[in-house]
Amino acid sequence: MGPSVPERPDRNAIDVRGVGKVFGTGDSAVAALDRVSVSIRENEFFTLLGPSGCGKTTLLRLIAGFDYPSEGEILLYGEDIAPLPPFKRPVNTVFQSYALFPHMTVGGNIGFGLEMLGKPKAEIAARVDQMLKLVRMEALKRRRISEISGGQQQRVALARALAPQPKVLLLDEPLSALDFKLRKEMQIELKRLQHETGITFIFVTHDQEEALTMSDRIAVMSSGRILQVGTPRDIYDRPAERFVADFIGETNFLAADMVGSSNGQARVRLASGAELGAALPDGLAPNGRVTVVVRPEHARLVKQGGAISGTLENVVYFGTDTHYYVRPDSGGDTFIVRQQNTRDGATFTAGERIGIAISDDAAQVLRD
């Protein structure tokens, strides 16, 4: 369908430079975006992730052209698209509410963009059929929108946005209205579509699990700023900031003192007195008090010893793994440990005295 996927794409599909957006004036002015900059590569599945109100949808709308930035520039393949109205930008959107035209059929909706572009009827018909095949909905071409289910509507919205072969596809929380099973299916579908068409996808969501499973790269946003950009692995294993660490998955935060550092690695001392190796984010060379994050699955429960000792408060069984909630002797928040359930693994019961072992490559120092 589209170009085959090059190994190392070298062009930026979208460049966002210092973009700010302010709503309202004077005392009631609100900065939805605070001078954000990010580059999205061609043929990428890029996700904007953050809680509601963080500005991700605003940024999407600026890229689509439904609103104008208060400052900064937005480039599409190097060209400034800010003065272009939405119908002149080769960028298409899949809306959260789908926004399918109720007075047209499925086929009519999908072909709409091509119609507006003035393509000949034969070409439009061919493309519509192609799109229907792509999203596996050939039988529904002549149906009215009111007659198809939510999941089907979602696919139609997708097909409609892909039909004109845009350079960039914007998806504004398109899966939020779907039930769990359908969501999972669509996540795989979207991934497949992106690979097949080679179109750059910019996906907006507040669901961190969704972001982690689907994206090539993620930008974590909060309060109008981009906090971190990286691959899902980077974001998960090496969160740069407290917010990122807290927002993505479960984390344990430990107060610690710097003991020494070299080559991006630090040695810290925990409240329990034990010393630990921890990774340092780039450019950070702190002294004194720091916060260290440890993912629950990177720690292990041991009957004796370990970096932290405490009492096992709660054991929650999840089928594939079990969560253990430990109250450390040295005070502080409950520490969560996640361990896979193996046949002959050691079992722990609530109320037991327990130790937590943390390997040297499990911890990361936070940029506070």
Site residues for another protein per CB under 8 A = 19, 64-66, 68-73, 82-83, 85-88, 91-93, 95, 97, 99-103, 112-113, 116-117, 160-161, 164
Distance CA 320, CA 340 (A): 6
Nearest 10 degrees: CA dihedral of 212, 214, 220, 221? -130
Distance CA 188, CA 192 (A): 6
Residue whose entry in the numeric block shows the structure tokens 């529904």: 140
> Are 339 and 321 within 8 A, CB to CB?
yes
Kindly state the smallest distance separating residue 101's Cβ from another protein, in Å.
Answer: 6
Residue (161 or 244) nearer to another protein, CB: 161
Residue whose entry in the numeric block shows the structure tokens 């440990």: 337
Question: Per-residue DSSP letters for 173-184?
Answer: STTTTS-HHHHH
Kindly state the smallest distance separating residue 235's Cβ from another protein, in Å.
Answer: 29
Kindly state the smallest distance separating residue 67's Cβ from another protein, in Å.
Answer: 8
Kindly state the smallest distance separating residue 70's Cβ from another protein, in Å.
Answer: 6
Residue (9 or 86) nearer to another protein, CB: 86
**Nearest Cα residue to 349 out of 307, 320, 321, 317:** 317
Residue (65 or 306) nearer to another protein, CB: 65
> Are 353 and 313 within 8 A, CB to CB?
no
Residue (64 or 245) nearer to another protein, CB: 64
Residue (11 or 88) nearer to another protein, CB: 88
Kindly state the smallest distance separating residue 158's Cβ from another protein, in Å.
Answer: 13
